[in-house]
A and B are shown apart, each in its own frame.
Chain A
């Protein structure tokens, strides 16, 4: 939806060629409406909840036979079991260092003082003293919240998942950066890894890698590795040609070309990949807790069982703080990687390095030896306050805002969601499929239309066409809200760095706060409904869109904006005539990313009343007989994502012959 409006706005640039296209789109939509009103309710391919298709039964059987062969098959004995052993050992080792009693001690090797000291020291060495202070403050906060051990368990698991992700992700990324063939080959695999709902592969993972740290880590790294690969490849690919050619002209070998030109020049982007990998790994903390992953996720899930919003919020804050600290440190480190040393002169810096190193080592020694420096002292009431505060705010909101929010829910549902859903889900499947393919051809290109046709075929084949269309309706409404918020708040932030500083931490929180924490408040405000699912999706997806738009607006040269003001444009004119058109690429990227992020929340939506694909995935995770159907629903979500993404990209390419690099 959002894509069509945007393409429409680009008619200004090349008037002659474009006049027919919007007309054709409008004509197609009009035809569709007429056909819909005649054929409504026919061939909708609805599948009752408890009914399974042959495909679903077959998937169940495959799953069972994998389980049955685990004690005999050589793949298990010599491959999976080995991987599991290595992973388990890695996690147990890191846990023994910072989180769990180990080596015959009642406490981990490093206590809180040592961890805080080492983390701060490392942040200072690799980044700067500002983020070092932030790191020290953030880590101390975990203790004050009464969540030290849980936080360290989460950190241990995250570190291992990130380490393994990078160990494989960076080489694969380099390969994808230098080889076009490999890049084409791996892109759909990465799409699959990022959009396939985790719920779908949790149960099979525990079957293959057993219950324990290995499964939790592997579940995490399936989701966390793609950013490392994608961004590394992107970094290598966007190295400007001249320096590489210069290296070549000196007769460098391929290896030299890589190590002397490509890698150093893409260092900053690669560190950004590390950053995104960490964020993705932290996003999995709560879901991994469903298969006994230790840490903060467990606290959230347990609190949910007693609908204890406060306790869940407290743990959620710890996850957000960990994410922000790690984000700021790695971002600062990437800037540092590009700009080189800080503002200190080298001799003093060396002295300080040694001095602070000694302090950190001494703190570590203390926390190894003395109980007070090992276990975080009791009396941290902060967790209590946070949790009571959150409970009070939730109670107040549901008592005072619920009528208002219910009105919003009813309005959007009746005016927007219900009509759209009726149109998409109650059209005969062949009509709807034809509309999608034609639309892809009109606003995109023939290739996009071919992809769309394959995707429509897969959706029908999954046996979940009708559920897919209901989910699609919710996804489009959510994306529309996300893009609207992205433009409004993004432009506001882009125009004022003060606003940016205030809002950015809120966005970070929205992106990293586990959705399980706000399930109950969302239901309290918007009741069990599809709109609640949309809200959950918007909370998670809007920050990304807002950030992208804000960065796009800020990237416009100041002189351009000043020229417009000097020519007498008022603020509104400057925004609509200069800033938004010039940030077009960012708007497109924001739409695309907003869409992908909304889709990744479909399953969470299933927990608050969305029904459709999200619910099927949850049901498949919960009941053995429904596993195959859940898997099919997961695949349908992936297919929807790929279809929308490819159409949007083709549309963007067509309306702008100079496509920007699309990074995730």
Chain B
């Protein structure tokens, strides 16, 4: 019985499928093979995409210009910083287009291995520091001075902070001196490692929504700051060399000049793509705008780049190779 029904069903399905397909197959466009011809002398240009939106904004704009103006074939590779730097030596990565400090990597790959070179500033300034949600800055105006942090330590107590105030740290990719800072500034706080940027963002977002206290490590430019404008706590001002000994740091983080790093062979070849990367320079506002298109307006990086480039032809002109 069951097999009989099965047979009927199967036969029916197969007949109707064949019929339907034959009918529909008559229409529709055929697939043409593409010409593999490359235009221009740019060739293939490989950008590493480090995992944050601001970086993606830089990369998307550079890629868009390289493709449309210079006729390059752009390959994007999603990689963490370390692995991207490794790629310079093996010829698998041409450029990193937003680099936060990383003196250790610069020493290893630029000075020792000589596989990478610096391609100058992106024009974007990076600020790292301790932040509180805006409602706290309003309610406790003097909290933005580190001298008062101990006064408020009990507000920041959690199950994780062992009876002290909690200072939340994020993605371990970023430079942090926070444990040393807490110790050297005599603060009654415990560093708790969130371990990832999404966890950190979620903590700040919830703190602002529910008016809960949170003190955490954050950085600018970051798209989240245009959703909630976190307020920076002032640590003792940075002075040249005050962070030389990581054990004894007792000052704020320096302002980072975010720069571009390219592979040595890419720079030596001095092709149009290299010249574009070398000339590329814009501002925090520019990057934030493109990052906002991506993170909040849900555009793809390509669409976001196209939109910005159309509105900023003059800036783009200045990046193009002079020939």
Chain A: residues with CB nearer than 8 A to chain B? 48-50, 64, 67-68, 70, 101, 104-107, 129, 202-203, 206-207, 210-212, 289-292, 298, 301-302, 304-308, 343-345, 348, 352, 355-356, 358-359, 362-363, 366, 368-374, 398, 402, 409-410, 413-414, 418, 519-520, 523-524, 527-531, 606-611, 614-615, 618-619, 621-626
Contact = CB atoms under 8 A, between A and B. Distances in A.
B11 to A, nearest CB: 8
A345 B3 contact: yes
B172 to A, nearest CB: 4
A614 B195 contact: yes
B95 to A, nearest CB: 14
B52 A305 contact: yes
Contacts of B197: 305
A211 B90 CA distance: 9
Contacts of B6: 129, 343-344
Interface of B: 2-3, 6-7, 10-11, 14, 17-18, 21, 24-25, 27-34, 36, 51-53, 56, 77-83, 86-87, 89-90, 92-93, 104-105, 108, 113, 158-160, 168, 171-173, 179-180, 191-203, 205-206, 210, 223-224, 246, 294-296, 298
Main secondary structure on chain A at its contact with chain B?
A: helix
B196 A211 contact: no
B78 A306 contact: no
Given A344-B7, A359-B18, 9 more contacts: A206-B87, A363-B21, A370-B25, A371-B28, A371-B29, A372-B24, A523-B198, A528-B199, A618-B172
A442 to B, nearest CB: 33
A528 B89 CA distance: 38
B193 A615 contact: yes
**Residue of A104, A306, A358, A611 most packed against chain B (CB within 10 A):** A306
28 contacts: A104-B34, A203-B83, A211-B86, A344-B6, A344-B7, A352-B14, A358-B18, A359-B14, A362-B21, A363-B21, A369-B30, A370-B28, A371-B28, A372-B27, A372-B28, A402-B206, A413-B159, A520-B198, A523-B199, A528-B203, A607-B194, A608-B194, A608-B196, A609-B199, A611-B192, A611-B193, A611-B195, A626-B172
A210 B88 CA distance: 11
B58 to A, nearest CB: 14
B31 A374 contact: yes
3 nearest A-B pairs in the assembled complex, by CB-CB distance? A619-B172, A622-B173, A607-B196
Contacts of A105: 31, 33-34
B88 to A, nearest CB: 11
B194 A106 contact: no
B31 A50 contact: no
B172 A615 contact: yes
Contact of A519 (B159, B198, B206): B198
Contact of A203 (B14, B82, B191, B224): B82
Contacts of A527: 158, 203, 206
Nearest to B81: A622
Contacts of A369: 30-31
A607 B79 contact: no
Given A67-B86, A106-B31, A626-B172, A524 B195 contact: no
B51 A528 contact: no
A527 B206 CA distance: 9
A344 to B, nearest CB: 6
B86 A622 contact: no
A624 B104 contact: yes
Contacts of B32: 106
Nearest to A411: B159
Nearest to B227: A307
A369 B32 CA distance: 9
A618 B89 contact: no
A611 B167 CA distance: 13
A411 to B, nearest CB: 10
Nearest to B200: A528
A373 B28 contact: yes
Given A345-B3, A373-B28, A528 B92 contact: no
A152 B24 CA distance: 25
A211 B77 contact: yes
A464 B24 CA distance: 65
